[in-house]
Amino acid sequence: MSSKTLSQRILPFLILFSFANMDLPAQSLLDVLPVIPKPAQMALQEGNFNLTGETQIILLNSELKNEAELFNDYLEENYGLRLKISSARQSKKACINLSLPDVGINSSREGYKLIVKPSGVAIKASTGSGVFYGLQTLIQLLPPGKTNSLSIPGIEILDQPRFAWRGMHLDVSRHFFSVEFIKKYIDYLAFYKMNTFHWHLTDDQGWRIEIKKYPKLQEVSAFRNGTLIGHLGSTPQLYDSIKYGGFYTQEQIKEIVAYALRRHVTIVPEIEMPGHASAVLAAYPELSCSGKPVEVAKKWGVFKDVFCVKDETFEFIENVLNEVAVLFPGEYIHVGGDECPTDQWKECESCQRLMKNIGMKDEHELHSFFMRRVQKLLSKMDKKMIGWDEIIDGGPLPKATVMSWRGTRGGIAAAQTGNDVVMSPTTFCYFDFYQSKYPGEPLAIGGYLPLDRVYNFEPVPDVLNEQEAQHILGAQANVWTEYISTPEQVEYMIMPRISALSEVLWSDKKARDYDAFTKRLIGHFKLLDFKKINYSKAIFDIHEMVLPHSANGISIDLSTSFKQGVIRYTINGEEPISSSPVYESKIIVDQSVGVKAKIFDGPVARGKEYSRVFKVNLATGKEVVLGNPPHEEYSRGGEFTLVNGIAGNIPWMGSDWLGFLGEGLDATIDLGKELTISNVGLDVLRDENSWVYYPKGVRVLVSTDGLNFTSVKKLDEEDLDPSQRLIKMKFDKIKARWVRVLARNYGTIPVNRPGEGKPAWLLVDEISVD
Ligand code: TNX
């Protein structure tokens, strides 16, 4: 059916439609139907279909039994109903018809047509996948919550996906998840019409797949003797001493693969190499260059213990992959390839000899050589190789599929040389990043990836021409679990970001509209509540923007990406309620104040409260000139960050600190007029594991003409206490208009410290003058 006929069928605007006890005009109802990802075409029809225990499922093609059973499982689990399935209509009762008509519904293998009328439901597609997706849509149209009547609005939907690879990844090495949860995770994928589960099965911290030929992978590599407590960036690093681990038996893997297959999800197993191999080397140290024993890693990061490039390694990998290839029927095996330090190869006689013999110019080429050999092994097994974008760093690797995680650059390069690509850039697809800047979020790795950013991801970069763009198979989100240890937390990190990604991957590019999406999402939250799925409400977060205001103080601009409500706020310390003032324009502040705000959807408060204390002093909102610019990675708020009334956030990654690499801070503040001052404060960060060091010394100078400066305070290394985040510099009262604050960078990172020999970072934030 063409889109024209569909739209012609949209009934007049004024007819009211019912959905979940709402009577709404047609267009408004369509807007709130919680179908995610948004179907290609939808048109409401008159009336409703009532699903009851009497409804029958009619299979016009017997191979659709699987889909019908799964639909029945859903009904049974959520509504206590199980419908009769038969191959022909046995009574006049309304029924749900599932069929695979010979004439294709549309050109897409996964597309479907869904018709809901008072007299019955029909789902037609050219494959079982299409019917399955039609049923997912039908499920989303059912009213959430236990109810006596399962009424579905009359509707006609014609739908198909935009991309073939619609994926989600899960790291089960850093933390291990039960078979039961893996199945749930696969359910979530299927519910959002995702079709690829990238199962990250091995890493430094644990090997999680049974390989019969190598029992020590189960006995040794699958367990670690403790785990880092808290963030890798914290000092000192503390560990628990709890033995942690586990693995999936081959029987369990088969069970999961079959479970996924029934839900039209293909599993891409990942076996990491040549880096992230500590767990293997703990069991089989002979596969490293030095042969020295290592332990299954207890903390996160990148480790120097990697596979040695030698025949024994390839023999091991071939044997492992042989077992993996049999277990997973999909065409791809992921072989990692990322973050592989070459230190050990540089010191290894046999690696160096090999490089010389073959004429390789550096270790990148050796990495490439490694991947090429593995690719050959895989093709013998009739499998395609996919790896992280590092696999093409050492030269092109024809026919390999590249998963672009370090931005989209690797993916672009690969598509331009004719490789297939799956996009998964950290900036849009790392669901291990924070999704809210509010305090109280569960500890995460860092970064900031809010829902609207995921939603606005475009997997096909503009620079690609049409032919190159064909190589972008799709995209996926990655869920690395260093800081995600429970199923509830996995749910929190993916919900609702998975729904935004599903729309990126399924729906038409032109149909994407974030505000419209949030309308559907609200209805969808009811479903998540009903199904008791843990999800983030960061969509209701209030964002602040602080700017200097005239001669005195700052202005605070509040906003939200959620356009279906208003912001109400207080500045008297009280909780915002439904009668608090509506935020309409900037709040001007010239003295310290606490601002609280919340989203209200009518009388209903949504999400968490925004609360921030702004500390105003003589420097706040004043002009700052920097003697040297901050490093581009930590310069987001610009020099105003130093005087915006907000002290730097912890966790600091992704927040507004000013960073200087190897260099110090040289900030001159113009107070606007001559004032009497006697105190300067400077906020500094110390996080030596992340190469952020306390300054070696600080100084304050003042001036009345902006040219000649007098030193009023100097603190050297021995005067400073690195445990204090705020450096207080007190001096005798003096008249000044310009205040210059200097902080000396620590310099070179000492030996035996992370980043030894490299320049240290200096991270600073608020400067106060009183
Ligand atoms: C980088 S992304 C990694 C993982 C980490 C992740 C944390 C990639 C190919 N490698 O080993 O878990 O960062 O975000």
Return residue ranges of the chain for CATH 3.20.20.80: 165-529
pLDDT band at 166 (very low <50, low <70, confident <90, very high): very high
- The tokens for 358 are 């073959």
- How many percent of the chain have pLDDT more than 90? 85
To the query of whether residue 175 is one of the catalytic residues in this protein, the response is no
CA angle, 210 as apex, 208 and 215 as ends, to 5°? 110
The residue among 395, 418, 416, 392 whose CA lies nearest residue 403 is 392
Q: How far apart are CA 421 and CA 460, in angstroms?
A: 10
Q: How many Cβ atoms are within 10 Å of 392's Cβ, its own excluded?
A: 23
Would you state the pLDDT for residue 11?
Answer: 39
Q: Which CATH architecture has domain 3-159?
A: 2-Layer Sandwich (3.30)
Return residue ranges of the chain for CATH 2.60.120.260: 623-769
To the query of whether residue 203 is one of the catalytic residues in this protein, the response is yes
Cα-based distances in Å from 410 to 390, 471, 657, 708 = 8, 13, 29, 51
Q: Which atom of ligand 1 is the closest one to the Cα of 481?
A: 12
Q: What is the mean pLDDT of the chain?
A: 93
Burial (CB count <10 Å: 0-12, 13-18, 19+), residue 507: buried
Taken in order 349, 355, 356, 358, is the CA torsion positive or negative? positive
Burial (CB count <10 Å: 0-12, 13-18, 19+), residue 225: middle
Residue among 171, 339, 433 whose CB has most ligand 1 atoms within 8 A, to mutate: 339
Burial (CB count <10 Å: 0-12, 13-18, 19+), residue 552: middle
Would you state the pLDDT for residue 637?
Answer: 82
Model confidence over 426-448: pLDDT tens digits?
999 999 999 998 888 999 998 89
Over residues 367-378, mean pLDDT: 98
Model confidence over 453-489: pLDDT tens digits?
999 999 999 999 999 999 999 999 999 999 999 999 9
Q: How many Cβ atoms are within 10 Å of 213's Cβ, its own excluded?
A: 10
Over residues 183-203, mean pLDDT: 98
Over residues 408-417, mean pLDDT: 97
pLDDT reading at 3 higher than 90: no
- 259 or 657, higher pLDDT: 259
pLDDT reading at 551 higher than 80: no
- Superfamily (CATH) of domain 165-529: Glycosidases (3.20.20.80)
Half-sphere CA count of 178, side-chain side, radius 13 A: 6
Model confidence over 705-731: pLDDT tens digits?
999 999 999 999 999 999 999 999 999
The residue among 495, 494, 491, 499 whose CA lies nearest residue 478 is 494
Q: Which atom of ligand 1 is the closest one to the Cα of 390?
A: 9
Protein residue with least CA distance to atom 7, ligand 1: 480
Q: Which of 175, 200, 276, 524 is catalytic?
A: 276
- Residues with CB under 6 Å of ligand 1 are 338-339, 388, 405, 430, 432, 445, 480, 482
The residue among 123, 127, 182 whose CA lies nearest residue 157 is 123
Return residue ranges of the chain for CATH 2.60.40: 541-614
Protein residue with least CA distance to atom 2, ligand 1: 405
Q: In CATH, what number does 541-614 get? A: 2.60.40
Would you state the pLDDT for residue 19?
Answer: 59
DSSP category for residue 263: T
DSSP string for residues in 296-355:
--SS-S--S----SSHHHHHHHHHHHHHHHHH--SSEEEEE--S---HHHHH-HHHHHHH
Q: How many Cβ atoms are within 10 Å of 251's Cβ, its own excluded?
A: 10
Protein residue with least CA distance to atom 4, ligand 1: 480
User: Any idea which residue has 């990675």 for tokens?
Assistant: 633
pLDDT band at 240 (very low <50, low <70, confident <90, very high): very high
Q: What is the pTM of this model?
A: 0.88
511 in helix, strand or coil? helix
DSSP string for residues in 709-759:
-EEEEEE-GGG--TT-SEEEEEEEEEEEEEEEEEEE---BPPTTSTTTTSB
- The tokens for 564 are 């279906």
Q: How far apart are CA 764 and CA 665, in angstroms?
A: 8
Model confidence over 689-706: pLDDT tens digits?
889 999 999 999 999 999
Q: Which atom of ligand 1 is the closest one to the Cα of 300?
A: 12
Q: Which amino acid, 22?
A: M
564 in helix, strand or coil? coil
Q: Which of 339, 441, 452, 623 is catalytic?
A: 339
Task: Give the Å distance between the CA of 265 and the centre of ligand 1.
Answer: 23
- Superfamily (CATH) of domain 623-769: Galactose-binding domain-like (2.60.120.260)
To the query of whether residue 590 is one of the catalytic residues in this protein, the response is no
